[in-house]
Structures are given as structure tokens and as C-alpha cells.
Amino acid sequence: MSITSDGSYFEDFTVGDTLVHQRGRTITETDNHMFTSLVMNTAQLHFNQHLVDREPDTYFSGRRVVYGGVVLAFVVGLASEDTSENAIAELEMDNGRHTNPVFHGDTIYAESTVLEKRDSHRPDAGIVKFKLIGKRPDGTVVVEIERSVLIKRKSYFLKNS
């Protein structure tokens, strides 16, 4: 019995396909505070309500913004079951940008489009490049990034098992 999905090996991905990941995640204030503290982020917009109350016109009508690292981590996590369950390594994240703010209580979903597939120096794996997008339920994009993952080849593991 396999502990990973049969549909997430290198051979299973096709350039141009978009995977809409089924799970969503509501980001809480606790999530934001924990991550912001762990990475010692000093941008007060993420944790100082007094500041945003004093200048609501500057700070999203007095709302604190979720730290972008939290948003990105959760979007990668939402995509992982479908895209990297058979990964050997996350190789690269590039061309990322936060396109809209995320606030406490917002729910995000993810989708991944296969941009490229290529061989690696390893016979047991290939590289898949995805465009990962995080969205609110209304379709508003909040984050996008290109992500390259070294993924096991099913053919290699079936032949050598």
C-alpha cells in the first residue's frame, strides 16, 4: 500500500494543466501572530492595532494585514497534496508577488498551473515548474509565485521496486 497519491508523480503532470486544489484555509489572528513572531517580522502593520487605529486611512481602514509569509506558506500547503506529495525537494520559488492584502478571517484557496517539465540530473526524478496562485472565494488573487519541484518518476520506482 502506497502512502502517497498515484497521481502526483512526474509523469502525471502535463504542461498547461491547472489543478484546482480542493481545500481552503481561513487565516486566523493566531496564525498571523505566531508566524510573525517566529520570523521576528518588525512590520507593525501585522501586529500593532494601536498604530492602524491611529491612521486608518493609511492602514486599510484600520485593519491589520496578514504577514505575506503566512499567506504564501498556507497556499503552498494547500497545493502540496496534489503537486508535491511525491516530491524529493522544493527547488525554487521565483517571481512571487502579493497582489491584494489578506486580513484575519479571510479564507484562501489555491490552484497550480503546470508551466514546464524537464529532466533533472537524477534518473529517478524530473523537475516540474508550477504557477501557484492563492485566491479568496470570490476569485480575487492574493498571491502568485512560480515554484519548481523535483518530483519522483513513477516509471523508475515501479521498475526498481
**Tell me, what CATH number does 70's domain have?**
3.10.129.10
Q: What is the pLDDT of residue 73?
A: 95
Could you tell me if residue 2 is inside a domain?
no
* Contacts with 154 (C-beta within 8 Å, 6 or more apart), sequence order: 6, 9, 10, 11, 12, 86
Could you tell me if residue 95 is inside a domain?
yes
Domain count within the chain: 1
**Please, what is the average pLDDT of the chain?**
92
Could you tell me if residue 109 is inside a domain?
yes
Q: What is the pLDDT of residue 6?
A: 65
- Cβ distance 93 to 117 under 8 Å? no
Task: Look up the domain containing 85 and give its range.
Answer: 12-159
Percentage above 90 pLDDT, the chain: 73
pLDDT, average across residues 10-39: 93
- Cβ distance 73 to 123 under 8 Å? no
Select the more confidently predicted residue: 139 or 59: 139
Could you tell me if residue 7 is inside a domain?
no
Percentage above 70 pLDDT, the chain: 94
Could you tell me if residue 3 is inside a domain?
no
Could you tell me if residue 4 is inside a domain?
no
Enter the C-alpha cell of residue 63: 485593519
pLDDT in tens, 92-147: 999 999 999 999 999 999 999 999 999 999 999 999 999 999 999 999 999 999 99
* Contacts with 50 (C-beta within 8 Å, 6 or more apart), sequence order: none
Select the more confidently predicted residue: 155 or 55: 55
From 9, 3, 2, 28, select the one nearest 87 (Cα to Cα): 9
Tell me the pLDDT band of 47, cut-offs 50, 70 and 90: confident
Specify the pTM.
Answer: 0.88
pLDDT exceeds cutoff 50 at 36: yes
